[in-house]
């Protein structure tokens, strides 16, 4: 009797889901079946300070954050702090799988050995309850990494960690490498951004053009999308006529887009910690962070 009730409940949830026309993906079941989302930030220098500033001071609801890693990095301390605060982590694997070079990055000849070394250090923490997804490359187009190399690297990571989603990032802006053809087939999802778009909901905006490209080029049976949004203030914002105060409403607009698009499973803001002439979210006007709290509550349950 319990099984029948559970089956009926899950069936009802699926019928009411915004993605009822899609096949639920095992890696994205939290979204496809249960209507949940990811929301968080990149740019975490200190796990303790980040969790305290976001959660306790600014009351922004998050459930994911990103971690950078080298092939010798032991991430156990960061895992414990972020997981303990209710956040899963998304881990950048760029420097583990690929070698930086000009004009293009390339797959490391020893990528299997290097990845295995990192995997053996951190494998106790590389579980679905701790990790939201693995980032194979953060800017595959601008690093000029061929699809074949992305697929080779992704396939190997998946052979070791089949239960964790793999994601590839694409960045678009002035001087970015354009993408118009096929996408890699191995990744489980793609994260992308087009910063300094004041109204990303405008059908004629460059953001919408990129969103439509990904929607029509992914395998909708198993690949999903993550929006990377402006959680920073840089000179190119000013060049586009965008002031600090405008960033807050932009975050809300992005959250509404994420909530309305069945293929989008969440948002990650770049960046909490600033660098150079770029202010992170922690350094901009308080009103911007207040709007980010509102954006987080569009996607995540808030008190």
Q: Give the other-Cβ count within 10 Å of 287's Cβ.
A: 13
Tens digit of pLDDT for each residue in 224-278?
999 999 999 999 999 999 999 999 999 999 999 999 999 999 999 999 999 999 9
Answer yes or no: is pLDDT of 85 > 50.
yes
Tens digit of pLDDT for each residue in 116-160?
999 999 999 999 999 999 999 999 999 999 999 999 999 999 999
The total domain count for the chain is 1
Answer yes or no: is pLDDT of 45 > 70.
yes
Which among 300, 261, 252, 266 has a CA at the least distance from the CA of 18? 261
Answer yes or no: is pLDDT of 81 > 70.
yes
Residue 80 lies in a domain: yes
Give the DSSP letter of residue 56.
Answer: I
The SS3 call for residue 228 is strand
pLDDT number for residue 24: 78
Q: How confident is the prediction for the chain on average, in pLDDT?
A: 93
Owning domain of residue 146 = 23-299
Instruction: List the CATH number of the domain containing 126.
Output: 3.20.20.80
pTM of the model: 0.92
Residue 17 lies in a domain: no
Mean pLDDT of 29-53: 92
| DSSP line for 233-296 | E-HHHHHTT--HHHHHHHHHHHHHHHHH-TTEEEEEEE-SS-BTTBEEGGGS-HHHHHHHHHHH
Per-residue pLDDT band for 22 (boundaries 50, 70, 90) equals low
CA distance 237 to 147: 31
Residue 11 lies in a domain: no
Residue 46 lies in a domain: yes
The SS3 call for residue 73 is coil
Residue 2 lies in a domain: no
Evaluate whether 134 touches 161 at the Cβ level (below 8 Å): yes
Tens digit of pLDDT for each residue in 179-208?
999 999 999 999 999 999 999 999 999 999
Residue 18 lies in a domain: no
Structure tokens at 124: 């106790």
Mean pLDDT of 167-176: 95
Residue 48 lies in a domain: yes
Residue 102 lies in a domain: yes
Tens digit of pLDDT for each residue in 93-116?
999 999 999 999 999 999 999 999
The SS3 call for residue 98 is strand
Mean pLDDT of 38-55: 90
């Amino acid at each position: 009797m319990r099984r029948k009730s559970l089956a009926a409940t899950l069936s009802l949830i699926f019928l009411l889901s915004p993605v009822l026309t899609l096949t639920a993906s095992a890696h994205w079941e939290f979204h496809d079946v249960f209507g949940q989302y990811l929301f968080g930030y990149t740019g975490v220098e200190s796990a303790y300070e980040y969790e305290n500033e976001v959660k306790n001071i600014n009351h922004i609801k998050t459930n994911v954050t990103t971690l950078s890693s080298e092939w010798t990095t032991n991430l156990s301390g960061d895992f414990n702090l972020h997981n303990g605060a209710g956040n899963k982590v998304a881990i950048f694997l760029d420097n583990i799988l690929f070698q930086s070079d000009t004009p293009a990055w390339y797959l490391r000849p020893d990528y299997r050995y290097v990845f295995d070394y990192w995997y053996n250090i951190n494998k106790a923490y590389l579980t679905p309850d701790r990790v939201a997804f693995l980032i194979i490359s953060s800017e595959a187009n601008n690093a000029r990494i061929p699809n074949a190399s992305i697929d080779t690297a992704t396939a190997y990571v998946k052979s070791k960690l089949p239960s964790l989603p793999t994601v590839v990032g694409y960045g678009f802006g002035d001087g970015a490498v354009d993408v118009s053809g096929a996408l890699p087939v191995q990744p489980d999802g793609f994260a992308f951004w087009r910063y300094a778009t004041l109204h990303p909901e405008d059908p004629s905006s460059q953001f919408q053009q990129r969103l439509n490209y990904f929607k029509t080029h992914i395998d909708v049976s198993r690949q999903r999308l993550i929006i990377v949004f402006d959680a920073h203030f840089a000179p190119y914002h000013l060049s586009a006529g965008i002031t600090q105060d405008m960033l807050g409403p932009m975050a809300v607009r992005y959250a509404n887009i994420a909530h309305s698009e069945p293929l989008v499973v969440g948002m990650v803001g770049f960046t909490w910690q600033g660098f150079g002439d770029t202010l992170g979210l922690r350094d901009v006007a308080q009103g911007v962070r207040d709007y980010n709290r509102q954006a987080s509550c569009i996607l995540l349950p808030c008190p």
